[in-house]
Amino acid sequence: MVYEYTLRGIEREPFSVITMLPELGYEIAAQYAWTALIVFALLTLVVGLQRGHFARVISTSLSRARYADPNADPASGRRFAKARDRILRTQHSRLVIYNVDDPFCGAGAAYRPWHLSVELRPRTDGTEPEPLDNERIVARIRPRLEALRVPSPHGSPEAEQAVLDRLRELVIDECVFLPASGLPAGREPDLSDDAFDAHRAQAVEEGGERRRHFLRVRVGGWDENLVITVFVRVHTQGGMLMLEVAPHVLLPVRPQFQEADDIARRYLRNNPFAKAVWAFRHAPRSLAKALSTLSGGSRGPWQIATEGHGGALPAGPAVSVRELAAQEDASLFQLMDLDRYLKTIQDRIVGGVTLALHEAGWHTEEFAQRAVTVAEGGVFIQSVSHSAFSVGGSGHNNRTGHHTDGGDGQ
């Protein structure tokens, strides 16, 4: 009836529609108000149920205990199980398939990487120098790093066992980086132990650009929220010893992830009235979020069906979920631990190289005192004897005479 009256009025006076809009809106609101209220009530109910489901999943399937257990992975179906096994195999393999643009993807942000090149000079005490290869140097570094796991004497075994320093859990292994661009198409790379042994035997001495051998040292602090990984590479060429040290740091995950357990716990223990109020407050904006999520999720199947990724050439990892979730900074305690772990590990690395040089009959007496890494990839050589050093990425040379002062040489 209202619509017929409105249409007749528009036919008589076309511009009268402007004055009739308030009346038309009032009539429509009167007829459909209950429908709008019912839709909003249903939307509020769905939001509340969704929040309850989220809280239960966080408290059960994604609880701290179950999330850390690989066997409790809820991936279902053959396709997801295959993807899960492939991810686990790739993450824990000592053969690292990398993208040339980001070879250390997943290890975190680079933290003051540095390198040191030293000329090999025979000692003057009459000792005949021996040939020095890369594997021999690595073999001298590892025991010094492994000794960091042993607590200092505390008077009793019980006191030693009570030491909680994270260096006791230091992980030391070797890995070989392989570029994804050189892998054959249509076939998964062989990441077995036999394949690693074959690659390592060739890579440890070849000093190539694409295939690289590293000694990998890892320590995880603050319940694995602060992870320090140091990659060490040594190479001898043309009477020079090159030492490359690439520390990488994963900072703690963002507070939202840390607070998920607490949010779920508080919601599940809240009373029904508080849950209803929460759903009522978040219902108005939930529809836009749902549509945005649906739109984003629909792009994935469309790309799988149309982009032809199944025939793409092998590629290294593009992003790391752990890196995306990391904070941009850490607390003072965490930064102090980071500095302590890193300096301790690097001191042992320098000590191991010095020991290898000394045993082989090369001059190292004053170099053995200290090489301290500093900001911007530079290296302070506090005391060096009769050697020419290329420092950091600056290309400066530091030529020193026979002195032991820990002074200004940089």
Q: Give the pLDDT score at 17.
A: 53
The per-residue pLDDT for range 191-202, each reduced to its tens digit, is 889 999 999 999
User: Per mean pLDDT, which range of 151-160, 161-170, 282-291 is the poorest?
Assistant: 151-160
Confidence of residue 259 (pLDDT cuts 50, 70, 90): confident
CA distances from 371 to 118, 173, 346 (A): 12, 23, 9
Most confident by average pLDDT, 160-169, 194-203, 379-388: 194-203
Residue pair 248/220 in contact (Cβ under 8 Å)? The answer is no
User: Per mean pLDDT, which range of 9-18, 148-157, 280-289, 380-389 is the poorest?
Assistant: 380-389
Burial of residue 249 (CB within 10 Å: 0-12, 13-18, 19+) is buried
> What is the length of the chain?
410
φ/ψ bin of 223: left (φ > 0), alpha (ψ from -120 to 50), beta (otherwise): left
**What values do phi and psi take at 194, rounded to 5?**
-65, -40
Per cent of the chain over pLDDT 70 is 78
Which residue is listed with tokens 């070797």?
A: 174
Say if residue 319's pLDDT is above 60.
yes
Per cent of the chain over pLDDT 90 is 31
Say if residue 395's pLDDT is above 70.
no
Confidence of residue 9 (pLDDT cuts 50, 70, 90): low
Higher pLDDT, 318 or 73: 318
Confidence of residue 365 (pLDDT cuts 50, 70, 90): low
Output the DSSP codes for 265-321: HHHHTS-HHHHHHHHHHHHHHHHHHHHHHHHHHHHHHHHHHHS-GGGPPP------H
Say if residue 95's pLDDT is above 90.
yes
Higher pLDDT, 388 or 176: 176
Q: Give the pLDDT score at 201.
A: 92
Q: Give the pLDDT score at 7.
A: 56
User: Per mean pLDDT, which range of 63-77, 126-140, 160-174, 216-230 is the poorest?
Assistant: 63-77
User: Per mean pLDDT, which range of 42-46, 174-178, 365-369, 396-400 is the poorest?
Assistant: 396-400
The per-residue pLDDT for range 102-128, each reduced to its tens digit, is 999 999 999 988 888 788 888 887 778
Residue pair 144/355 in contact (Cβ under 8 Å)? The answer is yes
- What is the pLDDT of the chain when averaged over all its residues? 79
Which residue is listed with tokens 């102090």?
A: 336
Say if residue 323's pLDDT is above 60.
yes
Alpha helices (runs of H) in 1-126, residue ranges in sequence order: 2-12, 17-59, 64-67, 78-91
Say if residue 404's pLDDT is above 70.
no
Averaged pLDDT for residues 51-55: 92
CA distances from 132 to 91, 209, 237 (A): 33, 21, 10
Q: Give the pLDDT score at 228.
A: 96
Higher pLDDT, 175 or 242: 175
Q: Give the pLDDT score at 227.
A: 96
Spatial separation of the C-alpha atoms in residues 200 and 176, rounded to whole Å: 6
Output the DSSP codes for 347-402: HHHHHHHHHHHHHTTB--TTTTT-EEE-GGG-EEE----S-EEEETTTTEEEE--S
Confidence of residue 357 (pLDDT cuts 50, 70, 90): confident
Averaged pLDDT for residues 353-382: 63
The per-residue pLDDT for range 143-152, each reduced to its tens digit, is 999 999 988 7
- In 3D space, the residue among 257, 253, 252, 320 whose CA is nearest the CA of residue 104 turns out to be 320
Tell me the residue type at 39: V
The per-residue pLDDT for range 292-310, each reduced to its tens digit, is 888 887 787 887 777 777 6
- In 3D space, the residue among 132, 140, 97 whose CA is nearest the CA of residue 348 turns out to be 140
Q: Give the pLDDT score at 382.
A: 42
Q: Cα–Cα–Cα angle for 99, 217, 106, nearest 5°?
A: 30
Report the Cα 37 to chain-centroid distance in Å.
48
Read off the pTM. Answer: 0.76
End-to-end CA distance of the chain: 92
Domain ranges of the chain: 2-67+257-311, 94-252+326-399
Confidence of residue 287 (pLDDT cuts 50, 70, 90): confident
Report the Cα 70 to chain-centroid distance in Å.
19
User: What does the DSSP 8-state code read for residue 192?
Assistant: S
Confidence of residue 273 (pLDDT cuts 50, 70, 90): very high
**How many CB atoms are located within 10 Å of the residue 189 CB?**
16
